[in-house]
Each structure stands twice: as structure tokens, then as C-alpha cells.
Copies of this chain bind each other. A is one copy, B any other.
Amino acid sequence: MSRVTIAPEEDRLNAQIAFAIEIDKLKRVIRRNHLMDGSRRENDAEHSWYVGLLAMILGEHAPAGTDIQRVVAMLLVHDLVEIDAGDTFIYDAAAVAAQADAERAAADRIFALLPGGQGAEMRALWEEFEARQTVESRFAKALDRFAPILANHHTEGGTWGLFKVKAAQVREKVRIIEEGSPSLGAYALELVELSVARGHLSE
């Protein structure tokens, strides 16, 4: 947009709009897991909506005193770095290790589109999510891990079979859920064991 005069507050808005245009790309970052009807793979934007709303619905299963609104905010920004770095399959250990540098570079570029302190504020949400040192980030990460287990259980194994994921690997992810929410961890473990019992997840 060409503008004849630019007031400081317009500079801020223009920077925010540039960010808004950039983040639309998250709708084109495709994850491994499928929708619950199995019709197609999920993208990062709809996944981010889903876990953000899950935080609102399942907030009572977080430790007392957890700031659920901060969890929601964290989940809405948690995958933005994948615009540059792409989605990494959590069961591919080598890819996960290589991913850290790419995500940091992506954070440098994407959050810097925002004006002044706002970029730092949004980046802090992402850093907090990744570091998993607060109750909010541990609960956010728990939901991020819970959603694909729920979807795979619901679709008779879904992407577990497709990508030859074994029960022991999924149980390891369940530990991350337990750290954020003991009750959701217990529930997820029950889904995993039911999936094994039904032959939808291999030992």
C-alpha cells in the first residue's frame, strides 16, 4: 500500500498487517496426522485452532493456578516457526534434532515482522512453549501431544500404522502429557492401551 503521509501509529499497523499476511502461510504447512474422518492430512493452522480451543475446554485438567489464557495464546503461536522450518514428525528423532536451528532462524525472521516490543512478546510465548519450564507451557505441550493420540485412536490407528510407529514410542509421548496434566496423561495412556488391544497400534 502506498501512503502519502505515515504517522507512527500507521507504521505499527503496517508492520502488523505485514505479519498478518505472512502468517496466512501456516495454512499450507501440512502435518503428518489426519483429520478425525481420515479424509486428509491436517495443516498447522487448523491444528493450532484445535489445540487452542482444547485448552479452553480441558483447562480444568491443568494444575491449579495455570493461566489458561496464556496457554491459549501460546498454542496460537506455537507452530508459526514451521512456516519456514516445516513440520517435523515427532517420531523421527534425527529430524527433530536438526529442526531446532531451523526453527530459531524462522523465529528470528517471522517475529521481527512485528513492531517494537510486540515481536519480542510473541517470540517469548514460543520460547516458553519450547522450553517447557512453566505450568502453562507444560500444559500447552501436553495438549499438542494429546490431540494426535486422540485422532489416531479415533481413526483406528490412523498415522501410527502408516508411519510404522510402535506402542513404546507413543507411550514415551504420553509421559509429556502426564507432565502437563496427570489426568489427561492417564486418559491418553488408556487410549494407547485400547489401541494396542484392538490391534490398531503394534508393540
Contact = CB atoms under 8 A, between A and B. Distances in A.
Contacts of A1: 190-191, 194
Chief secondary structure at chain A's binding surface: helix
Contact of A46 (B20, B45, B56): B45
A121 B60 CA distance: 14
Contact of A16 (B16, B27, B52, B57): B57
Assembly stoichiometry (copies): 2
A98 to B, nearest CB: 27
Given A1-B194, A46-B49, A76 B58 contact: no
A62 interface: no
A73 B76 contact: no
Contacts of A191: 1
B56 A150 contact: no
A77 interface: yes
Contacts of A92: none
A151 interface: yes
Contacts of A150: 17, 20-21
Contact of A45 (B49, B56, B154, B183): B49
Given A57-B118, A57-B122, 17 more contacts: A1-B191, A16-B57, A16-B58, A20-B58, A20-B150, A23-B50, A25-B36, A25-B37, A27-B35, A27-B42, A27-B46, A45-B49, A49-B49, A53-B77, A56-B77, A57-B114, A69-B73
Interface of A: 1, 9, 12-13, 16-17, 19-21, 23-28, 35-37, 39, 42-43, 45-46, 48-50, 52-54, 56-58, 60-61, 69, 72-73, 76-77, 114, 118, 122, 150-151, 154, 183, 187, 190-191, 194
